[in-house]
Amino acid sequence: MSLSLLWYLECLRCDMTDVSLLVLVCWCAHGKFAQKLLNDLFANYTSALRPVEDTNTALNVTLQVTLSQIIDMDERNQILTAYLWIRRVWVDAHLKWNKNDYDGLDTIRIPSSYVWRPDIVLYNNADDHFTGPMDTNVVIRHDGKITWDSPAITKSSCKVDVSFFPFDAQQCRLTYGSWTYSGNQLDILNAMESADLADLVENVEWEVLGMPAKRNIILYGCCADPYPDVTYILKLKRRASFYVFNLLIPCVMISFLAPLGFYLPADSGEKVSLGVTVMLALTVFQLLVAEIMPPSENVPLIGKYYIATMTMITASTALTIFIMNIHHCGPDAKPVPKWAKKVILQYMARVCFVYEVGENCLSPQYRKGGVSDGVGKEREVSCNTQSNERQLTRNIEYIANCYRDQRATQKKTGEWKKVAKVLDRFFMWIFFIMVFFMSLLIMGKAI
């Protein structure tokens, strides 16, 4: 007669009518079987040696990783912090029993420190405290199969490539293997082709594309025996919306202000100030990106855009200073060269829609007689007095000479101002096209 039947008869003999009390007594009986099983299993058991019947055979350990959450990705220090559930399954040859001898008890749960455990560690661990998985209970089946499930917060080294930041994708490796046992003593296998992502908590910055697993056999230089490991490759893609709205779009908007410096009137005195202000604004954004990115030779895509934009703004500021110098050419300056008159004042002025200085830009009125040649027509002076008076003649000649000099000076100054205005409009359209194509190139990566 089995012990369970004896306990059942004992409960009936006590004439118990309370069902809950009956269940409690029977549960206590089941606990006595578990205690008896624990004493029998660990009477001559040691957790210091591999639990195999033949020491020449390798013990197979199956590894399964469940990714629960990506806590942090530190690009600057190249460290990935993740919350994992790790399952290790192996067969202990010394922990087997006949469940019929223990009232059908087929599984027990005991602290993991009681049994032998494989020393499987994360090879690319980057935690300064070297903390391992939590010491949870193990589940032992009657056939010796042991399942050890434990959560762990891991910090692993991850090679970060920021060449296409903020539209980059990363691949982080998590390599698990035995620290002391070679492949001839402990063989590690992956339970599935990839990690389990069913219980993954979505990350606001990174999108998980997959986490395939691959088993490797490595021959290290220190040892002749092979060392197997299981490598999980976590594939991540950055969600770029935050960086587009906070770093990229403001930079694009600021970049479109740089060509407008050519549209400002030269007499306003704000042309150079606008270029310098835009340069300082982009420098602030460049420093923000530099604080996030690791100090590597790979310049991120947004950093290249900032450098190209700052170079363009530097060139526009230098050209603005050059054009202002042309605009303020005084009467002592040389006349405009003939090639500049033909190329700039004729062809480029028509292309850039620049009219004569002082005319209305919306409804230009061209002179019918052309540009004055600087000599001017001498006014006809009608004198009712006698033309032979010398003093009056000298006065008239003096007035005519002053008028001719003034007309020549005005013509020379006006031509230089028109050259400066044509160059302003020409470079404004050139830099607008450059900013447009640069912005189109960087924004095309976001689509």
pLDDT score at 116: 94
* pLDDT at residue 1 is higher than 90: no
Quote the distance between the C-alpha of residue 173 and its chain's center: 18
Q: Where are the beta strands (DSSP E) in 14-144?
A: 59-74, 79-91, 107-111, 120-122, 137-141
Residue 293 Cα distances to 168, 251, 284, 298, 302, angstroms: 12, 18, 15, 10, 11
- Cα separation, 283 vs 287, in Å, equals 6
Confidence of residue 374 (pLDDT cuts 50, 70, 90): very low
Confidence of residue 241 (pLDDT cuts 50, 70, 90): confident
Q: Which residues of 77-95 are buried (b: 16+ CB within 10 A; e: fewer)?
A: ebbbbbbbbbebbbbbebb
What are the φ and ψ backbone dihedral angles of 120, each rounded to 5 degrees?
Answer: -85, 120
Confidence of residue 287 (pLDDT cuts 50, 70, 90): confident
> What's the rounded mean pLDDT across residues 210-230?
88
Question: Across all residues in the chain, what is the average pLDDT?
Answer: 79
Q: Is 69 exposed, middle or buried (0-12, 13-18, 19+ CB in 10 A)?
A: middle
- Cα separation, 243 vs 250, in Å, equals 10
pLDDT score at 289: 84
Least confident of 116-120, 135-139, 278-282, 365-369: 365-369
How is residue 160 written in tokens?
């970060």
Residue 14 Cα distances to 22, 30, 103, 166, 349, angstroms: 10, 19, 22, 76, 116
Neighbours of 286 (CB within 10 A): 18
Among candidates 232, 239, 234, which has minimal Cα distance to 207?
239
* pLDDT at residue 373 is higher than 50: no
* pLDDT at residue 132 is higher than 80: no
Among candidates 306, 271, 267, 274, which has minimal Cα distance to 289?
306
* pLDDT at residue 85 is higher than 90: yes
pLDDT tens for residues 54-64? 888 999 999 99
- Cα separation, 243 vs 306, in Å, equals 14
pLDDT score at 255: 86
pLDDT tens for residues 323-363? 887 777 766 667 777 777 777 777 777 777 776 554 433 34
Instruction: Please say whether the beta carbons of 422 and 349 come within 8 A.
Output: yes
Q: What is the percent of the chain with per-residue pLDDT over 70, rounded to a whole number?
A: 78
Helix (H, G, I), strand (E, B) or coil at 447: coil
Higher pLDDT, 143 or 22: 143
Confidence of residue 378 (pLDDT cuts 50, 70, 90): very low
Confidence of residue 12 (pLDDT cuts 50, 70, 90): very low
Q: Position 278: which residue type?
A: V
Sheet containing 107-111: order of strands: 107-111, 137-141, 145-157, 79-91, 59-74, 186-190
Instruction: Please say whether the beta carbons of 225 and 214 come within 8 A.
Output: no
* pLDDT at residue 238 is higher than 80: yes
CB proximity list for 294: less than 8 A, separation 6 or greater? 75, 76, 77, 78, 160, 162
Q: Position 364: which residue type?
A: P
- Cα separation, 106 vs 111, in Å, equals 17
Domains of the chain in sequence order: 33-238 (2.70.170.10), 243-351+402-446 (no CATH)
pTM: 0.72
pLDDT score at 395: 67
Residue with tokens 């060139």: 315
pLDDT score at 421: 83
> What's the rounded mean pLDDT across residues 290-317?
84
Q: Position 104: which residue type?
A: G
